[in-house]
Chains A and B, each alone.
Chain A
Amino acid sequence: MSKIILTTPMSGLIVSSLHTGDEVLLSGIIYTARDAAHKRFMALIDKGENLPVDLSGQVLYYCGPTPAKPGRPVGSAGPTTSSRMDAYTPGLLEATGLRAMIGKGGRNDAVIDAMIKYGCAYFAATGGAGALIAKSIRSSAVVCFQDLGPEAVHRFEVENMPLIVAIDSKGNNLYQDGPAKCKQ
């Protein structure tokens, strides 16, 4: 199957053209955030303040990398379990116009409903393949929440990051359809 070449930031139109099962190579700027960073994002949003990074049209990667060795842009950098972000995601999509998320494992119904409503896609990266994924990361810098250590928000410049569309903006869900097709 041919792979879809995508670059960030992404328009709603591009996102709406993606279907579950599509294989994607993503290039451009993406931002990392895990639960601790999401909690801070939501606290700022609740207070009516701006986020330290503009997420409109952007892609969030649920990732806390290992420290970079000298001379290397980043350490191992695979995805973490996305369901820990589920509590924050609908509010974040509503407030920011985020276009895509990258992680591993399924999402709950509230997240999928919000993805349909706000036009957002969810990509799966291969969990446990952090050394391989790091090869597609060209540079890394901490943007905010440095005190969170590995959970700080990083700005990654990626080139041909291999992803699968796991949940599309119509609500099609590969975590249901994939296993249903393979059940014996």
Chain B
Amino acid sequence: MRTIPYIQIVEAVKKLCIEAASKLPDDVIAALKKALEAEESPRGKEILRQCIENAKLAACENDPICQDTGVAVYFVEMGSGVAVSGGTIIDAINDGTRNGYREGYLRNSMVADPLFERKNTGDNTPAIVHVDVVAGETLAITLLPKGAGSENMSVLAMLKPADGAESVADFVADAVIKSGGRPCPPVIVGVGIGGTADTAMLLAKKALLRPIGKSHRDERYMRLEQKILEKINTSGVGPQGLGGTVTALAVHIEEYPCHLASLPVAVNINCHAARRAIIQL
């Protein structure tokens, strides 16, 4: 059994928060540059130029790419041979989030009660933490800071098994097209198919972690991803919803077995400021 001190996780998570907020992953920058070449609308091109310039500026000055530094969503892969000394992994991640958002001058966007008082917690906690136990003795923590503009466009459909792939494609493309400029296109579309209602949405969010340009391992799903992407990009929505030929940078599907009577489909969208960062301990 390998032991990782609580404070080491707190420190690592703090750095992860600050890094994720200001450094857009290379694959996202490459996709934005490709989009700039492909975009046919002059206005769309100008918006994409601003997005790329913004990402460069933020990385260079260590400033947040977007003022919505998000809900801190973590995906943790914890080796079964790892133990945390001095506290729990969840507490360590929340402490790291608190420190990272304060020291990085990031915006605190969490309200304590979702319906009545809606009072800001003042430190961006609690974080949303998903923990998977895996084999081995390493601890991997991925942070997906998730802005509300794109998160608010999430949708779930419990389709009938008879509906098939065509209906899945229509449902996903419609959801993205109807969102218009609100989720800050060009977007990345996470799609979760299968499981139960809750797992489908979690899969859709996990799909956003896949680097752009990496296709689905199963050719049938890869073709479905391409088909949905084409449907979305012929809609005309374009950068910021003001018209153009690039509305989405990628569509990523994750699937899981499901009940014989179900076909859950969830859509979770990420904006062009698709931030994510990973650390391994």
Interface residues of A (CB under 8 A from B): 1, 21, 36, 63-69, 75-78, 80-81, 83, 104-106, 124, 126-132, 134-135, 148-151, 162, 164, 166, 174-175, 177-184
Contact = CB atoms under 8 A, between A and B. Distances in A.
Contacts of A150: 67, 107-109, 120
Contact of A75 (B53, B105, B271): B105
A104 B152 CA distance: 14
B51 interface: yes
Interface string B90-110: 000000000000000111110
Contacts of A162: 50
B244 A182 contact: yes
Nearest to B184: A127
Interface in B205-264: 234-238, 240-245
23 contacts: A64-B107, A65-B67, A66-B64, A66-B107, A68-B105, A69-B105, A76-B58, A78-B67, A106-B182, A127-B181, A128-B54, A129-B50, A131-B54, A149-B108, A150-B109, A177-B243, A178-B236, A178-B238, A179-B237, A179-B243, A181-B41, A182-B245, A184-B245
The 9 closest A-B pairs by CB, nearest first: A178-B243, A183-B236, A182-B236, A105-B182, A179-B236, A128-B273, A129-B54, A127-B184, A132-B54
A179 B57 contact: no
A128 B108 contact: no
Nearest to B46: A23
Contact of A175 (B53, B106, B241): B241
A104 B182 contact: yes
Contacts of B238: 178-179, 182
B271 A127 contact: yes
B27 interface: no
Nearest to B69: A66
A78 B105 contact: no
Contacts of B271: 127-128
Contacts of B42: 1
Interface in B36-88: 40-44, 47, 50-51, 53-54, 57-58, 61, 63-69
A4 to B, nearest CB: 15
B272 interface: yes
Contacts of B41: 178, 181-182
A178 B108 CA distance: 34
B68 A80 contact: yes
Given A76-B58, A126-B50, A127-B181, A164 B242 contact: yes
A101 B149 CA distance: 18
Contacts of A184: 234, 236, 245
A77 B241 CA distance: 20
B148 interface: yes
A124 B240 contact: yes
A80 B149 contact: yes
A78 B149 CA distance: 12
A126 to B, nearest CB: 5
B194 interface: no
Interface in B102-128: 105-109, 118, 120, 122
Contacts of B195: none
A179 B67 contact: no
Nearest to A182: B236
B88 to A, nearest CB: 28
B148 A130 contact: no
B75 to A, nearest CB: 22
Nearest to A106: B180
B65 A126 contact: no
Contacts of A129: 50-51, 53-54, 66
Given A164-B43, A178-B241, A182-B244, A106 B181 contact: yes
A127 B108 contact: no
Contacts of B181: 104-106, 124, 127, 175
Contact of A130 (B67, B237, B272): B67
B184 A128 contact: yes
A179 B246 CA distance: 11
B57 A131 contact: yes
B148 A81 contact: yes
Given A128-B272, A183-B236, A184-B234, A81 B149 contact: yes
